[in-house]
Amino acid sequence: MPKFAANLSFLFTEQPFPERFKLAAAAGFRGVEYLFPYDYPAADVAGWLREAGLEQVLFNLPAGDWAAGERGLACLPGRQGEFAESVERACEYAMLLDCSRLHCLAGLRPPGHDEAELEATYLANIRFAADRCASIGATLLIEPINSRIDMPGYWLDDVKKGFCLLDQVDRSNVKLQLDLYHAQIIQGDLARTIEANLGRIGHIQIADNPGRHEPGTGEINYPFLFNLLDRLGYAGWVGCEYKPLTTTEAGLGWRAQ
Ligand SMILES: O=C(O)C(=O)[C@@H](O)CO
Ligand SMILES: [Mg+2]
């Protein structure tokens, strides 16, 4: 089986954020990821990781005004200064948390700008972020997210577009974050997509479809895909980014199958 990381924005939400680290460790996870650490001092988060014996696998760059509905800054013309600040803040946390993967949200398609302008803005921002990440030994991840159900208006909403952007960015420390739940909604053909692009995939996330619940609750054949990842020698992490159908603990049985 691959290495599974608990996503603490989705799992163990029965308890406050600081408590979730030890719950993840007690449930057998060795790594954690979450959306954002910025509500807490990095030294506190580092302490929770250390006490639980966990590796910090991944978190996101600040993504604009999340509460107001923003979902990243990278494709937004006119927001480059704020984007640069978000890169700096994420890198400060990554160094203190010893985290070598950062995910950069693309943003929602803004009205009044053509596709060429959004793409040029995105590519320039991603190259800037990649070079700063390289200076601390980190990989920058970009993730296709479905815009049909979970994030209407999201700009990077196609898996092929994600791989095409990787080619254009042309930085060896930029990889694709393949969230198999989103990929299933966007296009399916999961096994072939993994097999054809393994070297360009820097992180994987899982949830079943429909519902975004734990593996085994929907149409995706996760035992088959986990076997495939083992057979292909995928050495990265698989983030458990799903909404437990009932409780987190009750929904962990799929790992033993
Ligand atoms: O929504 C997802 O899927 C993610 O991986 C998040 O990090 C994006 O906010
Ligand atoms: Mg995801």
Can you tell me the distance from the alpha carbon of 228 to that of 204, in angstroms, rounded to the nearest whole number?
13
Domain 3-256 belongs to what topology? TIM Barrel (3.20.20)
Pairing mode of beta strands 55-60, 101-103: parallel
How many DSSP H helices and E strands does the chain contain? 8, 8
For residue 62, the SS3 value is coil
Give alpha helix (H) positions in 5-62.
17-26, 42-52
| Its pTM surpasses 0.90 | yes
Determine the pLDDT at residue 122. Answer: 99
Q: What is the DSSP letter of 108?
A: B
pLDDT in tens, 82-96: 999 999 999 999 999
> Across the chain, where does the E strand assignment appear?
3-7, 31-33, 55-60, 101-103, 139-142, 174-179, 201-206, 237-240
- Above pLDDT 90, what percent of the chain? 99
- Ligand 1 lining (C-beta closer than 6 Å): 35, 60, 103, 105, 143, 145, 179, 182, 205, 241
Using the structure block, give the residue that is written with the tokens 């095409």.
Answer: 164
Q: Helix or strand or coil: residue 109?
A: coil
pLDDT above 80 (res 238): yes
CB 35 within 8 A of CB 9: yes
The complex scores an ipTM of: 0.97
pLDDT band for position 4 (50/70/90)? very high
Instruction: Judge whether 119 counts as a catalytic residue.
Output: no
The answer, yes or no, to whether residue 194 has pLDDT greater than 80, is: yes
**CA of residue 121 to ligand 1 center, whole Å:** 21
Q: Which atom of ligand 1 is nearest to the CA of 150?
A: 1
* Residue linked to tokens 């929770």: 48
Q: Is 241 a catalytic residue?
A: yes
CB 255 within 8 A of CB 1: yes
Separation of CA 224 and ligand 1 centre (Å)? 24
Active-site residue (options: 70, 219, 241, 249): 241
Q: The tokens of 178 are what?
A: 């393949």
Q: What is the pLDDT of residue 257?
A: 72
pLDDT of residue 15: 98
Mention every residue, 6+ apart, whose C-beta is less than 8 A from residue 146: 154, 157, 182, 185, 186
For ligand 1, atom 6, the nearest C-alpha belongs to 35
Q: How confident is residue 197, by pLDDT bands cut at 50, 70 and 90?
A: very high
Say which ligand is closest to the CA of 145. Answer: 1
Convert the pLDDT of each residue in 153-181 to its tens digit. 999 999 999 999 999 999 999 999 999 99
Write down the mean pLDDT value for the chain: 98
- The tens digit of pLDDT for each residue in 18-74 reads 999 999 999 999 999 999 999 999 999 999 999 999 999 999 999 999 999 999 999
Ligand 2 centroid, distance to 179 Cα (angstroms): 5
What is the Å distance from ligand 2's center to 142 Cα?
Answer: 10
Tell me the mean pLDDT in the region 96-100: 98
Asked if 97 contacts 49 with a C-beta cutoff of 8 angstroms, the reply is: yes
Residue 232, pLDDT > 80, answer yes
If pLDDT is split at 50, 70 and 90, which confidence band does 117 have? very high
